[in-house]
Amino acid sequence: MRQASKFKRLFIPLFIVITVGIVLAVSAFYTVKHVENQDIAAKFGLDAQNRINAIKREIAINVEAIQSLRSFYLSSEEVTREEFIEFTRPQILDHPSIQALEWIPRIPDSKRRTYERAAQNELYPNFQITQLDSQGKIEAAVMREEYFPVHFVEPYIGNEVALGFDIASNPTMLEALKKSRNRGKIIASARISLLQEQEEQSSFIVSVPIYRKHQLLETVEDRNENLDGFVIGVFRIGKIVEHALSYFDPSGIKFDVFDESTHSDKQLLYSYLPRLYSRIKDNENNNGLIFKQIINVADRKWSIIAKPTSAYFISIKHWHALSASIGIMIIASFIAFHLKHNADFVSKLSDEITERKKHEREHKRLLGELKRKNKELEQILYITSHDLRSPLVNVQGFSKELDISLSELMSSLNEIDIPLNLKKEITQITNDDIPESLDFIKKSISRMEQLLAGLLKLSRTERIELNLEVIDMNEIMSEIKSNHEFRLKEAGVNTEVSELPQCTGDRTLIYQVFSNILDNAIKYLDQKRSGVIKVFGYKERKHSVYCVEDNGIGIASDYQDKIFDIFHQLEPGKVEGQGLGLTIVRKIISRHGGKVWVESELGSGTKFFVSIPS
């Protein structure tokens, strides 16, 4: 009886503790799982919205380039091929999603032969207006009332086949041109396939009409009669989406882009499959999560639908629910077997484990937050420099138009009979005040262009992928010295380069580092004595250390920590530059796992040291 009573006293508490533990474990599993699913849905909505916003911003930036080209045409009397290339080439470099920028003149059939002969003399001997035949091959365009051939195209390489192609021969593009001409606004076309495509890809054009200057454009008939041609941008949809999403980490989200403005059912333009998609077998199970948004693209409605793939759930999969249930079971078992003797110990151990996990999670969260903030700062720097460039081009274009208008006004004043005192007062304004203001505007635009160019260069330095290789620094310094030879001779500088050790890095970026440092040494030479620049190096453990020494004006100790700051200059206004050279040097060397520092004494010269892994 005593043994049975003792068994009951031990078994009943053990049974109660295990039973309660199982109930709590199951309840915790489903409760935590429900909370996790809510968190995943909220996170997916935020991730999808951020990426769709990036796609919208990329489209807007590219469409703004077309508006800038339109402003350029409006401010010019006539645009030559050289001027077209000079204006559009920076746009192409700054907007990698653009396939081509084109000028499309309007050519009546009566002027076709004259136009083709002129184009052959100006451009290429075999130039002719072309179209596609029924087999999809290039042929001479059939006779029609008017033609819209590609006259200028940039970049030319890769788009050669488009030169002379009659846009009017393609019904989809012709529809967009007519709509743009009649409304006098920027219009996007439906989906098209480009002549230069080697494989099936969805593309579209964005066109804006250019009319004859100083003409009434109130009616459709007015716009049709005074049409000169079109400025056109050609875009690959996939290129736009992929470039917009390249700033984000692979997330496992699939995007489908549809054109809602087609006459038939909505048309699929592009499907974006994340990089993780190809490595993980997907069963298209998105747990019912879908995010859709309608966007406006130059008067067309596109819808973007985001769906998570299994790769997305794997990348954010939580084990909290299972961990919670297992943890509760472990704790319950532990309590059951050590209830009488180890209650305080179990409580203390559980608290310690919980606190340690909390610190680990907080540490991981802070690291992830820091990485995300750095990426956001790089993206803000890149996007800001792009967004500021387009309105600056507009200001530049209209300042030129003001110049032309001022000349016309001055010419008209000479022909009008007005009182002498009034004419003298107006002449003062037109000859002195307005030109002085325009000159100030142009200088400000030039300075702003330099700053934006510097910001773009700094942004590209952050984003470019390193191509590491063993570098012969003697060869690098020989090339740099050769490229600066004219300036070195002009300044009478004696350059001494010792034998240099090898290092490991990106050849192009390392070249830029030492070119910037040598450029600074030349800029800040002391005009009171002959310039001497010495370059030497040595090995220090696993690093190669290089020194560029000059006998220039030197740097005061108070400024030696500031010279690597963005836009900082020792002598603003006296020396050319934007104050970005050493900032870029520091960022490049930091990305290589090295360091850069300066030793200098005012009036005696400067030593720049660069340490790079060997």
Query: What CA–CA distances, in Å, run from 297 to 7, 189, 202, 305, 387?
Result: 79, 10, 15, 16, 17
DSSP secondary structure, 452-501, as one string: HHHHHHHHHHHHSPP-EEEE-HHHHHHHHHHHTHHHHHHTT-EEEE----
Number of H helices and E strands in the chain, helices first, is 15, 20
Q: Is the Cβ–Cβ distance between 95 and 456 less than 8 Å?
A: no
Do 89 and 58 fall within a single domain? Answer: yes
Show the domain range for 416: 345-460
CATH number at residue 592: 3.30.565.10
5 belongs to a structural domain: no
- SS3 state of residue 392: helix
For residue 346, the model assigns a pLDDT of 46
Q: Which two tokens stand for residue 422?
A: 């009034």
Residue at which a domain ends, from 324, 341, 358? 341
* DSSP label of 574: T
Number of domains in the chain: 3
Of residues 435, 449, 453, 518, the one with CA closest to residue 484? 518
DSSP strand pairing (532-540 vs 494-497): parallel
Do 448 and 503 fall within a single domain? Answer: no
Do 508 and 377 fall within a single domain? Answer: no
Do 87 and 185 fall within a single domain? Answer: yes
Give one word for 573, left, alpha or beta, with left for phi > 0 and alpha for psi -120 to 50: left
Residue at which a domain ends, from 308, 341, 374? 341
DSSP strand pairing (203-211 vs 227-236): antiparallel
Q: Could you give the residue ranges of the DSSP H alpha helices within 248-319?
A: 310-315
Do 453 and 561 fall within a single domain? Answer: no
Dihedral of CA atoms 341, 344, 345, 351 in degrees, nearest 10, equals 150
Cα 379 versus chain centre, distance = 7
For residues 87-98, one letter each, b for 16 or more C-beta atoms within 10 angstroms of the residue's C-beta and e for the rest, the string is bbeebbebbebb
277 belongs to a structural domain: yes
Residue at which a domain ends, from 460, 491, 511? 460
Bond into 155 cis (ω within 30): yes
Do 403 and 476 fall within a single domain? Answer: no
Under-70 pLDDT residues of the chain = 1-18, 20-21, 23-30, 32-35, 196-200, 263-266, 275-287, 315-329, 331-351, 368, 370-394, 396, 443-463, 567-579
User: How is the beta sheet containing 227-236 ordered, strand by strand?
Assistant: 152-154, 98-105, 227-236, 203-211, 187-188
First to last CA, the chain: 83
Do 372 and 414 fall within a single domain? Answer: yes
Cα 411 versus chain centre, distance = 46
2 belongs to a structural domain: no
Do 382 and 490 fall within a single domain? Answer: no
Query: What CA–CA distances, in Å, run from 2 to 9, 15, 340, 560?
Result: 11, 20, 20, 88
Angstrom distance (rounded) from CA 405 to CA 125: 38
For residue 265, the model assigns a pLDDT of 60
Do 164 and 42 fall within a single domain? Answer: yes
Of residues 293, 216, 204, the one with CA closest to residue 257? 293
User: How is the beta sheet containing 595-601 ordered, strand by strand?
Assistant: 494-497, 532-540, 543-550, 605-613, 595-601
> Exposed, middle or buried: residue 395 (CB in 10 Å: 0-12, 13-18, 19+)?
middle
177 belongs to a structural domain: yes
pTM: 0.53
Do 149 and 246 fall within a single domain? Answer: yes
119 belongs to a structural domain: yes
Do 308 and 386 fall within a single domain? Answer: no
CATH number at residue 83: 3.30.450.350
**Which are the contacts of 399, defined by CB distance < 8 A and separation ≥ 6?**
438, 441, 442, 445
**Which are the contacts of 491, defined by CB distance < 8 A and separation ≥ 6?**
522, 525, 531
Do 254 and 196 fall within a single domain? Answer: yes
4 belongs to a structural domain: no
Angstrom distance (rounded) from CA 56 to CA 41: 22
pLDDT, tens only, 485-523: 888 888 889 999 999 999 999 998 899 899 989 988 888
3 belongs to a structural domain: no
Q: Which two tokens stand for residue 74?
A: 């409006």
64 belongs to a structural domain: yes
Angstrom distance (rounded) from CA 244 to CA 242: 5
Q: Is the Cβ–Cβ distance between 40 and 366 less than 8 Å?
A: no
